[in-house]
Structure 1
Amino acid sequence: MSLIELLLLLLVAALCGGIGQALVGYTAGGCLVSIFVGIVGAYIGVWVARQFGLPIFLPIAIGDTTFPLVWSVIGSAVFSAILGLINRALIGSRRRY
């Protein structure tokens, strides 16, 4: 994998993570967090698709690596929702008005 392929893969992961966070309405940070959420979301989305026997929609091939766009966005939304619930449970209980 060349440097250009890695940067393209990180850019696609950041876009998918950002879209997933926007769907849920919770963002945990900036671009690096979106990249992390996109990559973890791709793993979660592909795992869910395999568990239910669903096909991979819109895979993008970058070099030797394929990145599932639809499942990455869905997995990113699920991961962002989980992060939001954990954050609300931890921080929300400490907040006094």
Structure 2
Amino acid sequence: MTPVEILVLVVIAAICGSTGQALVGYSAGGCLLSIVVGIIGAYIGLWVANEFDFPVIFALNIGGKPFPIIWSIIGSAIFAAILGFVNRLTQNNRR
């Protein structure tokens, strides 16, 4: 992959991660954490899609590799919900 393709992939992952966090209502942090949430969300979303035999919906080919937009947003929402739940548990235990 060229540096431009990696940059495009990172920008798309950031958008998917921030969209997933907005759907859940929990923000893990700034732009860098949105990128991480988007990339981890893509893996979680693809895993869910493969487990239940769902088709890959709206995948962009970047550098010959597909990036599933819809499943990345769904996976990001799942991951952000888990992060929010864990954060709430740890905040309640500190009090």
- Give, in whole Å, the separation in 2 of the partners of 1:23 and 1:79: 11
Please, what is the CA RMSD of the aligned residues? 0.7
Structure 1: 5+ residue stretches without partners: none
Give me the TM-score of the superposition, normalised by structure 2.
Answer: 0.97
Q: CA deviation at 1:92?
A: 2.4
- Give, in whole Å, the separation in 1 of the partners of 2:38 and 2:89: 23
Q: 2:72 aligns to what?
A: 72
Runs of 4 or more, structure 1, over 3 Å off, are none
Question: Residues 40-55 of structure 1: matches in 2 within 5 Å?
Answer: 40-55=40-55
Counterpart secondary structure, 1:26: coil
Question: Residues 18-97 of structure 1: matches in 2 within 5 Å?
Answer: 18-95=18-95
- Give, in whole Å, the separation in 2 of the partners of 1:88 and 1:42: 24
Identity of aligned residues (%): 57
Structure 2: 5+ residue stretches without partners: none
CA offset digits 1:15-63 (Å, max 9, x no partner)? 0000000000000100000000000000000000000000000000011
